[in-house]
Amino acid sequence: MSPLEPFGARLRHAMDTRGPLCVGIDPHASLLTAWGLNDDIAGLERFTRTVVEALADRVAVLKPQSAFFERFGSRGIAVLEKSVAEAREAGALVLMDAKRGDIGSTMGAYAATYLDKDSPLFSDAVTVSPYLGFGSLRPALDAAAASGAGVFVLALTSNPEGAEVQRSTTADGRSLAQLMLDHMAAENAGAEPLGSVGAVVGATLGDVGVNLDINGPLLAPGIGAQGATPADLPGVFGQAVGNVVPSVSRGVLRHGPDVAALRESATRFADEVRSAVAGR
């Protein structure tokens, strides 16, 4: 099977036509309960199907959090496989939030799971952790390039614990986060209109103090329930704000199971992001 158009180009088109928004699919127990569903495989399936039916034909990116499916074992993975296929068929790009990171053949196996077009879990992109060294990601980077997929590399996350690693100083004086961002920029060099190696940078961080010009997408979790708003994005991302993919989960999902309310919330967030980026 021939490779897809590069992920960066497909993402740029999706953001320009559908709006710059990623909606997480996070079926944790409290959210299932809030929807009036049981925390079981039937509830998981109903929740996931509703989100996909409501949003996959209109948002740029859907981001299932793999852990919330894995906790149900093989039946949960089966729901995840089906939702990935159906979301992609409806036109959404699927970003698998798995945060995988390992070395050698093990990283190669993770890459085959999410980035091989013959895999039942093949996604348009996957989140990965570089903190075994950026070079440990090579199997995923190569697999993504071969299939037209993308990777989003953790850089500056919004959790407080992340700073002790990501803000630490390397031998040449750069922060570890900046070193990782520089590696991403090198991977994306020359790509048009956007590279396929993205960074994860929390929208709640304020002045991040790093160079975010990586010629690639910037996944920005933290919009909505975590406290950040679309209006905060220019202050965090500066000149790179046009490449930001804000990620919202509870801020949209809390409006379910009403399909119309889910759609209205996602549209409102996307419009607010457009306005914030245009008015910077």
Catalytic residue among 63, 82, 99, 117: 99
Please, which residues have CB within 8 angstroms of residue 278's CB and are 6 or more apart in sequence?
Answer: none
Domain coordinates in residue numbering, the chain? 7-275
For domain 7-275, the question of CATH label 3.40.960.10 is answered with: no
Lowest mean pLDDT: which of 7-16, 54-63, 158-167, 261-270? 158-167
- At 15, the amino acid letter reads M
Q: What is the pLDDT of residues 219-274, one digit of tens each?
A: 999 887 778 899 999 999 999 999 999 999 999 999 999 999 999 999 999 999 99
99 is catalytic: yes
Closest CA to 211 of 160, 158, 155: 155
- d(C-alpha 177, C-alpha 254), whole Å: 32
Closest CA to 246 of 230, 264, 262, 258: 230
pLDDT of residue 280: 58
Q: Do residues 271 and 265 touch, judged by C-beta distance below 8 A?
A: no
Q: Has residue 144 got a pLDDT over 70? A: yes
- d(C-alpha 184, C-alpha 194), whole Å: 12
- d(C-alpha 235, C-alpha 35), whole Å: 35
The DSSP letter of residue 122 is -
pLDDT of residue 278: 82
pLDDT of residue 1: 42
